[in-house]
A and B are shown apart, each in its own frame.
Chain A
């Protein structure tokens, strides 16, 4: 497995621009199973490069769920919240990065929220407790989520000492994140994380 990772990393490096090299981060749980939807952010020692700002993002409410569950947006992005359900929703966030409330909006109504601060914004619906989604407002251009195999790869990761921060909605640490410092030539990193069980989905009783 490790040998495979190195081969993959080597393959990626061929396409990398000068001063940059591919970096692969893997996130697994203590049992070694891959963890998906973990957000990996690189902070180069030289300072973070801001991602491209702007852009429109959609977090819809459909079938009493937020879709998608995880959205990574750059600082300053606008996210619209269209209600595709026949019921009303009361979308809210108490997260410090963005505190807002979209009170009782009905089907086919859409509200837009501007996210101007980096951080994780946890979204909930005051009417439907089981609805949960996350918007990660990133201030680093190197922000990626792990795929089904637990890999997050950066093709142009800066070739300098850097800090890698991993966040996951259910990560069991008081801060909710884990981070590692990478050596100058280190092109791979593995995070072993412990996750809480996702909140139980409530029965649909209407």
Chain B
């Protein structure tokens, strides 16, 4: 089966072939039937003609025989024959012959003599006639004088047999034509005889008998069946009927031939009609199957077409007709198209919109930004990029939970959109929003929009019963001056935002070139920091903590210094935030712990060392392992190591922080809370973890003598710490009055320039050598 390009063509071909085959089989069967029936009809016509001839023959025979018997019984005739009265006999025979319309009548005597009229029978034939007569044969065909004749005899009894009277009726062409005219069909009749010399046509209209047909004829004589032979050069259907012969050696038969062309004329007409009908039927079948296949496959073709159009992105619907499988398929297809469209829309939304706030996302913002850049290219116009970041969002998220944070984000996005008044608003992620503002010449519009946003966002709202006053900082960059492409513009806006945050939040700042310079400096610092670890540019300085009860140095706080190869000594306040931002604080912090432990190990047994640990180290560095390794390497008593943390470590991951602190405590390491009193800490921390020490922030100490409040706070802290059994250290003590005050409040230890500035490790060693470990002078 060849590959079809269409189902319709395949169905057409298959069904048409099937029907055509069935039709051809039927037609072939009909054709065979017609042929058979025609042949049968011809044969039956021939047979009936043969039967007619048989009747004629018998009738003629009987007529002649009756006449012969009548004559043979006539007494006078018998007397004439018996007495040899030739004249009488001749006249009697002549009379009878005329009456019977035969030309030959004669007598064969019992003694074998032949006499009569037209009786020129040669002697051998006479003898053979006598033999046949003697055997009792009274009718039959015999060739006498070269002419076939029907002979009829009757015995003459006088009273014994004295001979036979015979009449001979000619079987000539005239006779045959008579027979032919009697037949209903155009027959050709002939008598053929075999008188010892082979078959030959004796009379009739066949003309010369083809000797090649003789075996066929002979074989069909016995079974009285029709056969085909050549007659006058044409095929004919023939029937051969044996004729009784008079002499036993002779053979004769009647041959009836029916020219085949005429015999089969009707059949041929029928066959033509059948062929025509078959052809017509075949074309009808082909047409009908083509139409039917078309009807069946049309819905499929429509679906195929629709699927093709769907693939090329066209929204299509297929017409549904009826309720069959194809209709259901079409209906399903329509549903599918609908769902695909929905999904596409959803995907588009997901790709370009933020799920939470339904604002355009970063991707769409980028496109919009690129679009704006193209639109403003060379146009002389400007547009502003407002980069928003909600203030304190992280705190709100941590304290009120993420659902509350999400609610805030949704509300903030709604407010920003409201304030933006049609300008493009996007959420870049987290609490970061973007407003793209196209501006004409009125640069004041930028300020107005920023203020509008700040005002709108900072309306109070209630989330889960908590009243909040959200605020946002805005960094603004203006294209094209602050960035020639999207990336640069966004960077500029980010720097401006940074500055706005620095400026105290809830405000907006424009990008300035200096911001960029600062950013570059910071990037340089980052690079240098990485190198500094490798080059060993860090150094620990140690500031003594003075125990007020024992009046001696009880501990040193390790303070990191960076000895920059070109910039000289850099203060931690300058590089630690960068190290925290970049994560470099982890290796730097680890180095500091190792270094501090190693140093402290060489100090007197009662001297501790305190190391500052960043929140970043707490959450990202393997702090526990770092400290363990440092203690193991230095063989420092764990109780001589004090870890100083700020409250900020609690802002992220409260539970894990506590677990880590407890694990440090289980090692024997002391934990101190640094900068206590500032920030957002609450007293709940003191309840959740048993700190070894609180370090009171220097801001309280500086104001100790000048502000009443400060004194109260310091007093409260020391009271609280004493009540909880926690030591206290006052930082930044610079004056003796402060010391006195602190001592009065019951502070455990002090630290500051009043006693000693941070010193190198060598100076510490020298200090111990000098034996001035107990700084009596200050006390």
The size bracket of the interface on A is 20 to 34
- Cα distance A199–B157 when bound, in Å? 9
Complex Cα gap A169–B82 (Å) = 16
Within residues 56 to 80 of chain B, which ones have a CB less than 8 A from any CB in chain A?
73, 75, 78-79
Most A CB atoms within 10 A — which of B79, B157, B159? B159
Q: Verify B75–A126 contact, CB threshold 8 A.
A: yes
B162 contacts A by Cβ under 8 Å: yes
Kindly specify which of A35-43, A142-150, A172-180, A183-191 makes contact with the partner chain.
Answer: A172-180
Question: Interface of chain A, helix or strand or loop or mixed?
Answer: loop
**Known contacts A94-B78, A126-B75; A174 and B130 CB within 8 A of each other:** yes
| Closest residue on chain B to residue A196 by CB atoms | B161
Contacts of B161 in A (CB 8 A): 196
Q: Which of A99, A132, A172, A196 contacts B159 (CB 8 A)?
A: A132
B83 with A174: CB separation less than 8 A: no
- Select which of B83, B130, B158 is within 8 A of A122 by beta carbon: B158
Partner of B134, one of A95, A124, A172: A172
Cβ A176 vs Cβ B159 within 8 A: no
Max count, chain A CB within 10 A of own CB: residue among B75, B111, B162: B75
Minimum CB–CB distance from A133 to chain B (whole Å) comes to: 9
Q: Does B112 contact A (CB under 8 A)?
A: yes
Contact indicator per residue, chain A 90-123, by CB within 8 Å of chain B (1) or not (0): 0010110001000000000000000000000011
Any B CB within 8 A of the CB of A29:
no
Q: Answer whether residue B160 sits at the interface, using C-beta atoms and an 8 A cutoff.
A: yes
Q: Are A124 and B157 in contact (CB under 8 A)?
A: yes
One of A124, A174, A175 near B158 (C-beta < 8 A): A124
Residues of chain B within 8 A of A197, CB atoms compared: 136
CA distance A123 to B158 in the complex (A): 8
- In this assembly, does B264 line the interface, its C-beta being within 8 Å of a C-beta of chain A? no
CB of B73 within 8 A of CB of A129, answer yes
Closest to B110 in A: A174
CB distance from B602 to the nearest CB of A (A): 169
Contact A94 B112 (CB under 8 A): no
Question: Given A122-B160, A129-B159, A172-B134: A94 and B111 within 8 A (CB)?
Answer: no
> Does A124 lie within 8 Å of B159, measured CB to CB?
yes
Pair A99/B83 contact, Cβ less than 8 Å: yes
Interface residues in B377-426 by Cβ distance below 8 A to A read none
B745 to chain A, nearest CB (A): 180
CB distance from A123 to the nearest CB of B (A): 7
**Which residues of B sit under 8 angstroms from A95, Cβ to Cβ?**
82
In angstroms, how far is the closest chain A Cβ from the Cβ of B125?
16
Query: Is the beta-carbon distance between A176 and B110 smaller than 8 angstroms?
Result: yes
Tell me the chain A residues, 158-206 only, with Cβ under 8 Å from chain B: 169, 172, 174-176, 196-197, 199
Determine whether the beta carbon of A94 is less than 8 Å from that of B162. yes
Q: List the B side residues contacting A134 at CB < 8 Å.
A: 160
* Chain A residues, CB < 8 A from B79: 94
Residue with the greatest number of chain B CB neighbours at <10 A, chosen from A94, A99, A169, A199:
A94
Closest to A172 in B: B134
A58 to chain B, nearest CB (A): 19
For chain A residues 80-97, which have a beta carbon within 8 Å of chain B? 92, 94-95
Inter-subunit contact A94/B83 (CB<8 Å): yes
Are the C-beta atoms of A169 and B159 separated by less than 8 Å?
A: no
A174 close to B112 (CB less than 8 A): yes
In Å, the complex CA distance between A189 and B161 comes to: 28
Rounded to whole Å, the gap between the CB of B170 and the closest CB of chain A is 29
Minimum CB–CB distance from B630 to chain A (whole Å) comes to 156
Given contacts A94-B78, A99-B83, contact A174 B111 (CB under 8 A): yes
Q: Give min CB distance, B289 to chain A, whole Å.
A: 81
Please name all residues of chain A whose beta carbon is closer than 8 Å to the beta carbon of B111 when the two chains form the complex: 174-175
What CA separation (Å) do A92 and B159 show in the bound complex?
A: 8
Q: Which residues in chain A, 45-80, are within 8 Å of chain B measured between CB atoms?
A: none
CA distance A199 to B158 in the complex (A): 12
Interface residue from A94, A123, A129 paired with B82 (Cβ < 8 Å): A94
Chain B residues with CB below 8 A from A125, complex form:
159
B134/A122 in contact, CB under 8 A = no
- B82 partner residues in chain A, CB cutoff 8 A: 94-95
Q: How far apart are A201's CB and chain B's nearest CB, in angstroms?
A: 13
Closest to A128 in B: B159
Contact residues in A for B157 (Cβ distance below 8 Å): 124, 129, 199
Closest to A194 in B: B134
Closest chain-A Cβ to B675's Cβ sits at a distance in Å of 166
Interface centre among A124, A134, A175 (most CB of B within 10 A): A124
Contacts of B160 in A (CB 8 A): 122, 124, 132, 134, 169
- B159 lies within 8 A of A122 (CB): yes
A124: chain B residues at CB < 8 Å are 157-160
Closest to A125 in B: B159
User: Closest CB-CB distance, B74 to chain A, in whole Å?
Assistant: 10
For A91, give the chain B residue with the smallest CB separation: B159
A33 to chain B, nearest CB (A): 20
Can you report 22 residue pairs joining A to B where beta carbons are below 8 Å apart?
Answer: A92-B159, A94-B79, A94-B82, A95-B82, A123-B159, A124-B157, A124-B158, A124-B159, A125-B159, A129-B73, A129-B157, A132-B159, A132-B160, A134-B160, A174-B110, A174-B111, A174-B112, A174-B130, A175-B111, A196-B134, A197-B136, A199-B157
The 7 closest A-B pairs by CB, nearest first: A124-B159, A94-B82, A122-B160, A174-B111, A174-B112, A94-B158, A132-B159
